[in-house]
Structure 1
Amino acid sequence: MKNIDDLIELIMGDPKIRESKTLGEKVYRDEPILKRASQLVRDIVPPKDNTPAQLMEMRRMVYSPEAQWRSREWLFGKQGSFMADFEDNYEKIIPFEHYFPTYNDMTLEQQRTYFTWRTRIRQGEYMDISLSYIFVYIYELINLIGVKDPSEAYGSLKTLLEKYGESYPKLKRFVSIWLDDMVIYYGLDIALLNSSGILEFDDALCVLLDLDGHTDDEVFSALCIMSSYNAEKSAFYKTYPEEFRTVAVRSYKAFSEYYGAHRKKTLFEKLFGKSTISVHQMFGSAVFCYYRSSPQNSVVIDNVRRCFCRGGEWFSEGYAGKTHGNKQVGDFFRAIDSIMRTGFDFKNKLQAPDITKQLSKIINEQITILQDEKRQAEKLRVDIDLSKLGSIRRTADITRDKLIVDEEDLEEDKSPQPDMQEDVAEESVQDNTTPLDSGEYSFMQALLYGGDHQAAAKNAGAMPSVMADSINEKFYDIFADTVIEFDGDTPAVIEDYEEELKGMILP
């Protein structure tokens, strides 16, 4: 190729280049290399007849001498304060996508779209819009642009999260952190941190730091808050909730004692570490004007956490972690669930996680102790059936009447007569207040007091099995159960009802 003219001729000879719309629309002419600021503004921000003057003025701020050496955060705060009360009514909706967006990253049409959307937001209309526009509005709120105080900014930001959080998970992730930062940075009510789970997390830590100073229910709740495994949704827990809670708390306390005696660090330190001081970047990843000083220098959040500012830099002192996120506590709960299912012969088994032999031993020991306690309690349990009080009163009345003796009787000969025993037996049957007939009554007397039940049945003209069935049927309304059972061919009174029956059937 001979010279530059030949090269230009070759390029322009290409039909694709020659017919290019982009090339055809542009006119190229000589221009000065250096321009005055006013010339630069006119070139980049061409005047528009229908463009609001305030918006044009905001765009010119980019080219002020101070803006040339200041940060983009400073420029955002300057432009935002200038446009804090601006409203627009632009008809178009121009998409906008940009990382860490500011006004300066938008075209004129995008700026008008943004301020029109912001106008409607302030009127309570939350229309669909590009995520980058939403972030610009969030940056305004955390910088207190367009609000009267931090409380209003916090409320507006929380409402924005409620309206757009489900549609934009990324928004939810960032804004949740920035809401907490607003509470600390601007000195808002610490109770607002409840929504993020920080206070719940720290309260659980306080419980686990002082096991002896809290109830078993408080310890179990604290472990649930920390655990990555939701034990309360377990099928076994729903069947045996009290037993699960008891074994879990006792096992945790026993394992904590074991660590205190055999390890250099406590179980708490193993699971949750130690309280540390770390740098905390307020409003990290946001466009935030740090030249705005915080009214706070130190904020005590709770008994185990605080934030403080030194030399313009913020620090956080406390425990790392998140609510419901501790895998080690989750494995502890899952191991208890698995081992207890085996110990209680639960129909659905659960695979146990990898745990130490010592922890497995402790859990099994606590299950055995609990089961022994339940067996002992069953032996000592006294059930009172109020429906049987009537028969007990009737029996007591009979006993009372027999103990009352007239004075005339005292003068009679107290020596026993030859048929006295027969008379007593006959009187006992005559005073029968049970649903049994005389033969059945005598049969029950024989069973209760060691008499000849065979003879009693024979005198009544019936077989012992028939007598027993009739007695069980008549007593069912009182005991809601059979009172006589057979050991082979021998009838016997059920031990649980023996004393009560003796109160109804006298010797």
Structure 2
Amino acid sequence: MPGIDDIIEQVLAAARGRLERGVETSRAYGDEPILMRGSQLASYQPEPIRQMRALARRPEARSWTDARLFVEQARLMSGYEDDFPSSEPLLSYFPTYAAMSNRQLRSYFTWRTHVRAGRVEKTSTSYAYVYLYELINGVGAEPGEEAFRAIEAFWQAYRKFDSGLDRYVRAWLVDYAVYHDLDPALALPYVAVEHDWAVAVLAEAERRALELAAPRSRRQGPGDLPVPEGEATRLFDALEELSTYRLAHARLYRERPEELRDVTYLVFGRLARYYRSNRTQGLTESLFGARREMPHLMFASAVFYPGERHPDATYDLAGTRRYACRGGLWTCDALHDGGARSSKLGQVLRAVDRQLRVALDYPHQLKERGDPKYLVSLVDRAIGDYLSWRRAHAPVRVEIDLSKLAGIRAGAAQTREALLVDEEREDEKDLAPAPATSGAASGPAPATAPGPSDPAAGVGLLPEERALLAALLDAKEAPAGTDLLVDSINERLFDLVGDTVLEFDDSGRPTIVEDYVDEVRSILG
């Protein structure tokens, strides 16, 4: 049986024979594939790939870093497309072209051709990282916002196949915006801004708590009560952002939100003072570290070659972090805690939830988890102080029985009558209206309207008001309890006189203002 080499030779010989005979035919011939053995096909290199391989063997390439070699090769292959029929997998921690075989290179460039055409398909994740490295280094998209959008779009499309890219691409997008001085709004979605802001709220709450002077004795009471509602709400929201234990999801919070919020505020402040006295670091710093400037490696864990030295620059991101480049070296002034929630803070908040349920005799209790004794004691004291303060400052409930008002009035009248002296009774008789005539017994007499000559006609003084004014004009002492009459007279005469007519002397008795005695006399006629 002939071997593969014999078969290939027979096919090629037949083709040469047809050409030598010069047989004319109307059939149109196109390019025909070169016949190779399987072992030869495995090592076959298209010309662009051969040139890329040769680039690594140049004398000047010996001094290049792996990152620079990758970028130089990427630029050479920036427009290359392939249609390799199979896909060779690749598994590499730092994948580059140099780490790929010929079949893997052709598999990658074929997959990249599809991606650039808008068809993002699942492949070896190492190929996805190589594609991202190209974009980061300005290959495949114009450096700047266009490349940023390309990185973002590819990541969003491919993460449904492998969400592990999130760990790196988020940071790379931020670095890309900083490195190319793009609009900070592009990077903000990928920065833990809410986390950093929440830590700042905790730091401010801790500072305020430390400013409060602790009471020197139990009689003075706690100095952190009453709880400021606005500050307590801001702190509660910040703790909700930072803690692994979510108080806002607790059953007690749905039914007793104010108590849980206020006790949490008290516990945080007292725990901050405890840390100042018993720890080398403050509470917030022990949980999330302190903001400080540290060296920053751009595009960490990526294959990146910067080329020329980056000019000195400063880049502020939402006030929570500040990047600076000096002499080509980058620093980042920010929190460096990774943006994760704190389980230690979660333990504190769960202790607050549990102990408050115990104090309120809440029907749904939480199980004991072996919290530190100092923490349980601190929480219990805060709860006790808070509940005592609420009881002491509870609003007084006043209920009025309207059905008893008539009896109260009658009793007041009897008391007043018992306190009157004989002279006051005589004065009341003088001020009382004249008794009705005998004709009035048969029926009320029609009221006589004041005539035009009556000066009080336009004022509308009532009989008892006229009687009081007349008594004061005659220098008689007015009886007690005429305050309402005085106010009424002043209101009626204000439009006519333009001032207060009656006032009270040092003994509390009403008198006519001396300047208006004649006017009052003329009004009464």
* 8 Å contact kept, 2:354–2:365: yes
* 8 Å contact kept, 1:166–1:172: no
Alpha-carbon distance in 1 for matches of 2:359, 2:293: 45
Gaps of 5+ in 1: 1-45, 385-391, 400-406, 414-507
What code does the residue aligned with 1:74 have?
R
Alpha-carbon distance in 1 for matches of 2:350, 2:361: 17
Deviation, structure 1 residue 295:
5.0
Aligned residue for 2:93?
99
Deviation, structure 1 residue 132:
1.2
* 8 Å contact kept, 2:174–2:191: no
Moved more, 301-310 or 322-331: 301-310
Query: 1:285 aligned to 295, 301, 305, which one?
Result: 301
What code does the residue aligned with 2:180 have?
Y
- For residues 106-143 of structure 1, the C-alpha deviation after alignment (integer angstroms, 9 at most, x for no partner) is 22332222122212212221111111110100111111
Alpha-carbon distance in 2 for matches of 1:234, 1:305: 33
* 8 Å contact kept, 2:296–2:331: yes
Structure-2 change in CA distance of 1:368 and 1:409 (3 Å): farther
Alpha-carbon distance in 1 for matches of 2:278, 2:436: 84
Aligned residue for 1:321?
337
Tell me the SS of whatever aligns to 1:100. coil
* 8 Å contact kept, 2:196–2:339: no
Aligned residue for 1:163?
157
* Residues 100-249 of structure 1: pairs in structure 2 closer than 5 A: 100-211=94-205, 212=208, 215-249=231-265
- For residues 52-85 of structure 1, the C-alpha deviation after alignment (integer angstroms, 9 at most, x for no partner) is 5434322321222222231221111011112223
Query: 2:351 aligned to 335, 339, 342, which one?
Result: 335
* Residues 363-402 of structure 1: pairs in structure 2 closer than 5 A: 363-372=379-388, 375=391, 379-380=395-396
Alpha-carbon distance in 2 for matches of 1:410, 1:111: 125
Alpha-carbon distance in 1 for matches of 2:75, 2:328: 23
Structure-2 change in CA distance of 1:380 and 1:266 (3 Å): same
* Residues 247-286 of structure 1: pairs in structure 2 closer than 5 A: 247-260=263-276, 265-286=281-302
- For residues 121-171 of structure 1, the C-alpha deviation after alignment (integer angstroms, 9 at most, x for no partner) is 122211111111101001111112111123222222222222232432432
Structure-2 change in CA distance of 1:231 and 1:294 (3 Å): farther
Does 2:76 correspond to 1:82? yes
Structure-2 change in CA distance of 1:351 and 1:240 (3 Å): same
Aligned residue for 2:321?
305
* 8 Å contact kept, 1:187–1:295: no
Alpha-carbon distance in 2 for matches of 1:365, 1:302: 39
Alpha-carbon distance in 2 for matches of 1:344, 1:187: 55
Alpha-carbon distance in 1 for matches of 2:247, 2:339: 15
Structure-2 change in CA distance of 1:315 and 1:49 (3 Å): closer
* 8 Å contact kept, 1:202–1:304: yes
Alpha-carbon distance in 1 for matches of 2:304, 2:280: 44
Query: 1:66 aligned to 20, 39, 60, which one?
Result: 60
* Residues 435-450 of structure 1: pairs in structure 2 closer than 5 A: none
Structure-2 change in CA distance of 1:412 and 1:188 (3 Å): farther
What code does the residue aligned with 1:139 have?
Y
Deviation, structure 1 residue 265:
4.3
- For residues 273-326 of structure 1, the C-alpha deviation after alignment (integer angstroms, 9 at most, x for no partner) is 333343322222221113354355333335453233344333333333133422
Structure-2 change in CA distance of 1:163 and 1:238 (3 Å): farther
Tell me the SS of whatever aligns to 2:239. helix
Deviation, structure 1 residue 263:
5.8
Alpha-carbon distance in 2 for matches of 1:410, 1:358: 86
* Residues 484-503 of structure 1: pairs in structure 2 closer than 5 A: none
What code does the residue aligned with 1:248 have?
T
Tell me the SS of whatever aligns to 1:348. coil
Tell me the SS of whatever aligns to 2:56. helix
Structure-2 change in CA distance of 1:292 and 1:83 (3 Å): farther
Structure-2 change in CA distance of 1:354 and 1:64 (3 Å): same
Deviation, structure 1 residue 374:
5.1
Alpha-carbon distance in 2 for matches of 1:354, 1:318: 35
Aligned residue for 2:513?
none
Structure-2 change in CA distance of 1:118 and 1:230 (3 Å): same
Structure-2 change in CA distance of 1:247 and 1:182 (3 Å): same
* 8 Å contact kept, 1:339–1:352: no
Structure-2 change in CA distance of 1:373 and 1:146 (3 Å): same
For normalisation by structure 2, the TM-score amounts to 0.58
* 8 Å contact kept, 1:185–1:296: no
- For residues 196-227 of structure 1, the C-alpha deviation after alignment (integer angstroms, 9 at most, x for no partner) is 44322221122122225973222112222221
Structure-2 change in CA distance of 1:316 and 1:63 (3 Å): same
- For residues 410-459 of structure 1, the C-alpha deviation after alignment (integer angstroms, 9 at most, x for no partner) is 7499xxxxxxxxxxxxxxxxxxxxxxxxxxxxxxxxxxxxxxxxxxxxxx
Structure-2 change in CA distance of 1:180 and 1:102 (3 Å): same
For normalisation by structure 1, the TM-score amounts to 0.60
Structure-2 change in CA distance of 1:74 and 1:376 (3 Å): same
* 8 Å contact kept, 1:225–1:324: no
Structure-2 change in CA distance of 1:232 and 1:296 (3 Å): farther
Alpha-carbon distance in 1 for matches of 2:399, 2:119: 65
Aligned residue for 1:294?
310
Structure-2 change in CA distance of 1:240 and 1:194 (3 Å): farther
Structure-2 change in CA distance of 1:247 and 1:71 (3 Å): same
Structure-2 change in CA distance of 1:106 and 1:272 (3 Å): closer
Alpha-carbon distance in 1 for matches of 2:74, 2:293: 35
Alpha-carbon distance in 2 for matches of 1:298, 1:311: 12
Gaps of 5+ in 2: 1-39, 210-229, 410-431, 439-525
